[in-house]
Amino acid sequence: MQPKANTKKTTETLPSNIPQEIPPQKRRRKYSAAPKRQRRGRPGELCQLNLDVLFLIAEYTHPMDLLNLARTCKSLRQLLMDRSSEFVWKTARRQVIGLPNRPADLTEPEYANLVFYARCHDCGKYAKIVFWEIRRRYCLDCRIAR
């Protein structure tokens, strides 16, 4: 015994008198009532903290964590990349043992990105070596191309 097919056949005749099959209708998914999610692009309760508390917490984080925090949303980026927030970056940098002083031509966030973010400045691949003379990181492929 053959299983029944889910397709319906019509007997409409076309100019060539060949019967055509109508594809089966798609079933709609039934969704349960899921809890509402927060809208993306909002950092939640973090931006509602008092700035003194936020800066106090940020002073005890690693500079790479500060970079990641600044990359989460526009408001935190604007706050942490401002020149008035330089003391937070300095305090976080001083917690890293053996890190040399920042060059005068780089800002604190630029210096943290150069030292701790191990990605090529051109293509984004993993890049281990920092070229201090030009203040850039390049992967092997980009290094050869230059």
Which pLDDT band holds residue 27 (cuts at 50, 70, 90)? confident
CA distance 21 to 12: 10
Q: Which residue has the tokens 């015994």?
A: 1
Is the pLDDT confidence value at 13 over 60? no
Q: Which helix (H) or strand (E) holds 141?
A: helix 140-145
3-state secondary structure of 52: helix
For 77, half-sphere exposure in the C-beta direction (CA atoms, 13 angstrom radius) is 7
Which pLDDT band holds residue 76 (cuts at 50, 70, 90)? confident
Is the pLDDT confidence value at 51 over 70? yes
Token pair listed for 97? 């043992």
Is the pLDDT confidence value at 14 over 60? no
Is the pLDDT confidence value at 68 over 70? yes
Is the pLDDT confidence value at 119 over 60? yes
CA distance 143 to 130: 11
